[in-house]
Amino acid sequence: MKKFTKLFLSCTAMAVVTAAVASSAMAEGVTVSKDDYNAETGKLVLHVDSTAEGQKTLLVFGNGFDMTDLTDGIPEGAVIAIDQVAEFAADGVQLPKNLADGTYKVYVGGEGIATPYKTTLTLGEIVGGKIIVGDVDDDGEAGAMDATCLLYADAGYTAESLIGNAGKTITTENGNAVAGDVDDDGEAGAMDATCLLYADAGYTAENLIGNAGKEIMGTMNN
């Protein structure tokens, strides 16, 4: 790979990933676990589900940040690693050493990856509480008001005053879930709103309401 200045490299990598994410749905083609991160060296081993050769782009967000935080610039601490490499090294990519416990978002794009990949690196023990599936306005119930939030989210609104927690990641002991995803398709949107309206009307059949109203143990991530 040609040698560029670090500034040019960072700007180029940022542009590649943000453009790809803005125009594409994300795919779960990369995985990491806390065992893949070496706190002493700062190296993170990525497991990328792609045999395609060519340049890849890595973007890692700080604890609590994700791609939506780049809308109005780059907040301090939002991006902790960004790089372009021909192939990810077997011994890992470089992150800061001794990262604090929390949740870090990892994005991978570039040649041979038609749909950008994303995953979450969770460090430390998961300390969670009870979360009601479908309760995106955080009022302790899953119903019509949550359906309204999901319809706003489905229409492209991002203000938390309108969409609540819709679309946020919930970290659980069994992996990650999406806040508002009551039909368990990996997304929070209009179909979930329909399930919640059925639940609000008193229906109980799971083929109509999905997981609306069920309780899970987890942590809501910003």
Question: Bridge-partner residues for 176, per DSSP?
Answer: 171
Closest CA to 210 of 150, 124, 138, 128: 150
Round to whole Å and give the CA distance between 68 and 16: 15
Round to whole Å and give the CA distance between 109 and 13: 9
Mean predicted confidence (pLDDT) in 145-168 = 95
Q: Which helix (H) or strand (E) holds 144?
A: helix 144-154
Please report the DSSP string for 61-110 in residue order.
EPTT--GGGGTTS--TTSEEEEEEESS--TT-EE--SSPPSEEEEEEEEE
Name the residue with higher pLDDT: 76 or 5: 76
Chain segment 110-148, per-residue pLDDT in tens = 777 777 788 888 887 655 778 999 999 989 899 999 999
- Crossing angle of helices 190-200/144-154, nearest 10°? 170
Contact at 8 Å (CB) between 196 and 146? yes
Residue type, 97: K
DSSP tag of 35? G
Chain segment 140-156, per-residue pLDDT in tens = 899 999 999 999 999 99
At residue 78, the pLDDT reads 87
Say which residues have a Cβ less than 8 Å from residue 23's Cβ, sequence separation at least 6: none
DSSP helix/strand/coil, 194: helix
At residue 86, the pLDDT reads 59
Q: Cα 111 to the chain's mean position, in Å? A: 21
Mean predicted confidence (pLDDT) in 15-28 = 50
At residue 99, the pLDDT reads 92
What end-to-end distance do the CA atoms of the chain give, in Å?
36
The two tokens of residue 127 are: 């300390």
Residue type, 203: Y
Phi, psi (5° rounding) for residue 56?
-115, 160
